[in-house]
Structure 1
């Protein structure tokens, strides 16, 4: 899978306009300007359907309520967290080929992450997301994970 295709898949997951024409640069610009609240809602439905706590992993409840009321986008920082989470979700789907299995992987504590959930670690930092992606890569290519 090419990197460009991965960026386009992220655009689709986040509901960005014209995901087919999305590049790394244009995705970066979208993140800097702030993704819409609908992007958060969309990913929440994919990664954690019915889990009202998932959006609060990205943005605090009070801030989210205020942003919804004022129809304002996520901050650049929150948008980066959301895109990072979407990337890990995309990779989990690529490994498991099944949404339920991908969700189970992301939501269950993992021994290689010192008992933390892959989802929490991926949301927390880019280094955490890389650790999760490393495990997913090992699973995809047959190494013990």
Structure 2
């Protein structure tokens, strides 16, 4: 089990134009494209001292265009939502920003020594990281 859509929406800073209470609400916001501020917010939470981190999520030239439009595409929004979901889950498991950051950014033995943030660049990889977080939260070997 991961975290709820409301928690993910809080991480993203969504809900100012109406509450995000369900997965459907979040999916509809995602289809419209998140505001660029959602990316900035997630990057500040996950990598507060690393301005280059945004470029790992969305290419700099593309991000410059998106800033003019103030809206991400659906695909870009999916990447940001994936990171927000992992952040919310890691924070739920670890209970502390710094511990959650450490988990996401350090190599993990169950990921063959890769960092969770690197593995989570794909949806399947993100699910793999969520499985590890779930095992940590519910007490099975991780």
TM, length-normalised to structure 1: 0.90
Residue of structure 1 equivalent to 2:84: 86
Partner of 2:100: 102
**Equivalences for 1:47-66 in 2 at 5 Å?**
47-66=46-65
Which of structure 1's runs of 4+ aligned residues deviate more than 2 A? Answer: 17-22
1:100-143 CA-partner distances (Å, limit 9, x unpaired): 00000000011111111101211x11110110011011111222
What is the rounded CA distance, in whole Å, between the counterparts of 1:76 and 1:45 in structure 2? Answer: 21
Counterpart for residue 124 of structure 2? 127
Instruction: Name the counterpart of 2:74.
Output: 76
* Structure 1 portions without partners, runs of 5+: none
Asked whether 1:25 is paired with 2:14, we answer no
Mean alpha-carbon deviation: is it higher for 56-65 or for 100-109?
56-65
Structure 2 Cα separation of the partners of residues 114 and 13 of structure 1:
28
Single out whichever of 5-14 and 102-111 deviates more from structure 2.
Answer: 5-14
- How far apart in 2 are the matches of 1:44 and 1:135? 22
Post-superposition offset of 1:21: 4.2
Contact 2:8 2:85 in 1 (8 A): yes
TM-score, normalisation: structure 2: 0.91
Q: What CA distance in whole angstroms lies between the structure 2 residues aligned with 1:141 and 1:72?
A: 39
Q: How many residues align?
A: 141
Secondary structure of 2:4's counterpart equals helix
Structure 2: give runs of 5+ residues left out of the alignment. Answer: none
* CA root-mean-square deviation: 1.8
